[in-house]
């Protein structure tokens, strides 16, 4: 096991020594101005079995390991009359890899600072200026809805460094109604990166997005979402393949859907969502993808020791059939994020969630007040073994993708310091030719100041 132990200890010591000076920074300036400053540092050490990306091939050799350190600093300048807010956030990430195939940069170069600086957020908010209970936000920003099944991330290929979109959103709330209008243009690479890495691929192409998301909150028991989203993808390199994605990803995509959710009873929460896609891909085929996601959470009464709860989920993402002349496969364009954890399937599929049934269950409990534990299992089955939509096609005749077991623990020391341990095991089924088992683990520390 080759690890930058000295660097790990140095960073950990620096974090511990900085704890006494941590505090929220809010300054009241003259003329009704308020300045807020903050930041955080996230350390992630991950260990990946070499069979995680390729369960069909037995790849001898040591595990793939890396340590990523992502510091961020942010600030906002707020004017109360008129209510205008400027937001800025900068991100840097240092990356050390050991035992990775073909990596010729193992060493100190990974720890040079600053390795890169990213403009992670830069926007202006106009609050209540275009009507009471409204907010117009212009610039680089984060946006997501529900469980992220439709819209969750604009930069899926940068391994959790950023999630931003470049564009404009308008939110309006009136009594039980809330509507969000949004439009983005996200480039496949970030031209604002300082120092280096400007050609890092963030998405499958340049993506134009426009849509509307409406929520009706009847009461805590019953809430309704309705949404529509249009996307147009300009794949700059239609002959270069991206792992698990179509080589030529040019397409137009219309998505319409709905979600019912709420707290049916004090101990029963639920969410049911479905969506349908239309449009055309690079072959001129009709997009006819379908998504269905249902979740319930059963919680013990409020005063039960350890606050146990059970979560159940069934999810269906349609697969493409190569003999139909149409494209029935669900295309996860704006949701190519680790929706069910960063481990195993997310790595193997590179975020291309399609052609699968998933049934999962988990037990959630708190052994002590600030320690949350999740343990569970998920089963995956292919919708079709004849899918041609992406490159994670079957290498065997079966439709059993496999079973995933996981155990996660999250401990919050205080508002400044938290720890996480996540471990998952994947047992491939007959969808894969060889089907070698694999293991993934992550140890994370987040320091917020």
Residues 6 or more apart whose CB falls under 8 angstroms from that of 25 comprise: 36, 37, 38
Q: Render pLDDT for 400-421 as a digit per residue (tens, 0 to 9).
A: 999 999 999 999 999 999 999 9
Residue 108: strand, helix, or coil: helix
Residues 6 or more apart whose CB falls under 8 angstroms from that of 323 comprise: 386
pLDDT value at 248 more than 70 = yes
Cβ atoms of 190 and 201 within 8 Å: the answer is: no
Q: Which of 286, 260, 291, 251 is nearest to 274 (CA)?
A: 291
Helix (DSSP H) and strand (DSSP E) numbers for the chain: 2, 20
∠ CA(149), CA(126), CA(167), 5° rounding?
Answer: 45
What is the helix (H) or strand (E) element at residue 10, kind and residue range? helix 5-18
Give mean pLDDT, residues 17-31.
68
User: Which of 204-208, 277-281, 324-328, 444-448 shows the lowest mean pLDDT across its residues?
Assistant: 324-328
Q: How many domains does the chain have?
A: 1
Q: What pTM value is reported for the model?
A: 0.89
What is the domain-level CATH number for residue 137? 2.40.160.100
Residue 20: strand, helix, or coil: helix
Give mean pLDDT, residues 173-183.
97
Q: Cα–Cα distance between 170 and 85 in angstroms, integer?
A: 14
Q: What is the pLDDT of residue 339?
A: 85
Radius of gyration over alpha carbons of the chain, in Å?
A: 23
Q: Cα–Cα distance between 115 and 80 in angstroms, integer?
A: 37
Q: Render pLDDT for 311-325 as a digit per residue (tens, 0 to 9).
A: 999 999 998 877 777
HEC states along 174-224?
Answer: ECCEEEEEEEEEECCCCCCCECCCCCCCCCCCEEEEEEEEEEEEEECCEEE
At 104, is the pLDDT very low, low, confident or very high (cuts 50, 70, 90)?
Answer: very low
Q: Cα–Cα distance between 86 and 77 in angstroms, integer?
A: 5
Q: What is the pLDDT of residue 389?
A: 55
Q: What is the largest CA-CA distance in the chain?
A: 71
Residue 304: strand, helix, or coil: coil
Cβ atoms of 367 and 411 within 8 Å: the answer is: no
Take residue 17 and report the two structure tokens written for it: 């020594």
Give me the chain's average pLDDT, please: 86
Domain housing 32 = 5-448
Give mean pLDDT, residues 109-125.
78
At 72, is the pLDDT very low, low, confident or very high (cuts 50, 70, 90)?
Answer: very high
Cβ atoms of 22 and 50 within 8 Å: the answer is: no
pLDDT value at 212 more than 70 = yes
Q: What is the pLDDT of residue 53?
A: 74
At 64, is the pLDDT very low, low, confident or very high (cuts 50, 70, 90)?
Answer: confident
Residue 440 exposed, middle or buried by CB count within 10 Å (0-12, 13-18, 19+):
buried
Q: How many CB atoms lie within 10 A of CB 395?
A: 13
Take residue 108 and report the two structure tokens written for it: 């100190």
pLDDT value at 167 more than 60 = yes
């Amino acid at each position: 096991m080759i690890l930058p132990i000295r660097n790990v200890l140095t960073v950990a010591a620096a974090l511990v020594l900085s704890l006494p000076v941590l505090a929220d920074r809010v300054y009241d300036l003259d003329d009704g101005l308020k300045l807020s400053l903050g930041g955080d540092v996230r350390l992630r050490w991950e260990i990946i079995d070499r069979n995680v990306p390729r369960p069909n091939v037995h790849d001898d050799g040591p595990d793939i390991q890396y340590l990523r350190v992502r510091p961020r600093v942010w600030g906002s300048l707020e004017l109360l009359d008129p209510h205008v807010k400027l937001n800025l956030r900068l991100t840097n990430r240092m990356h050390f890899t050991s035992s990775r195939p073909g990596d010729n940069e193992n060493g100190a170069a990974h720890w040079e600072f600053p390795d890169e600086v990213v403009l992670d957020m830069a926007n202006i908010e106009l609050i209540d200026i275009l009507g009471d209970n409204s907010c117009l936000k212009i610039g680089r920003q984060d946006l997501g809805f529900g469980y992220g099944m439709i819209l969750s991330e604009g930069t899926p290929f940068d391994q959790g460094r950023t999630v931003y979109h470049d564009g404009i959103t308008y939110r309006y709330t009136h009594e039980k109604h809330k509507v969000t209008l949004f439009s983005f243009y996200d480039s496949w690479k970030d031209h604002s990166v300082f120092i280096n890495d400007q050609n890092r691929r963030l998405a499958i192409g340049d993506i134009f997005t426009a849509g509307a998301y409406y929520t009706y909150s009847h009461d805590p028991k019953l809430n309704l979402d309705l949404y529509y989203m249009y996307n147009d993808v300009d794949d700059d390199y239609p002959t270069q393949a991206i792992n698990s994605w179509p080589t030529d990803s040019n397409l137009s995509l219309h998505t319409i859907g709905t979600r019912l959710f709420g707290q049916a009873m004090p101990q029963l929460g639920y969410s049911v969502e479905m969506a349908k896609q239309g449009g055309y891909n690079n072959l001129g085929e009709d997009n006819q993808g379908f998504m269905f996601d249902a979740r319930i959470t059963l919680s013990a009464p409020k005063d039960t020791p350890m606050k146990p709860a059970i979560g159940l989920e069934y999810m269906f993402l349609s697969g493409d059939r190569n003999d139909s002349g149409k494209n029935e496969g669900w295309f996860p364009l704006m949701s190519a994020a680790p929706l069910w954890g960063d481990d195993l399937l997310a790595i193997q599929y590179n975020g291309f969630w399609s052609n699968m049934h998933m049934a999962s269950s988990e037990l959630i409990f708190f052994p002590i007040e600030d320690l949350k534990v999740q343990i569970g299992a998920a089963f995956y089955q292919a919708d079709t073994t004849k899918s041609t939509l992406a490159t994670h096609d079957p290498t065997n005749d079966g439709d059993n993708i496999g079973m995933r077991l996981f155990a996660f623990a999250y401990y919050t020391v205080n508002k400044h310091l938290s720890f996480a341990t996540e471990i998952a095991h994947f047992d491939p089924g007959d969808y894969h030719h060889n089907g070698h088992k694999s293991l993934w683990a992550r140890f994370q520390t987040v320091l917020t100041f």
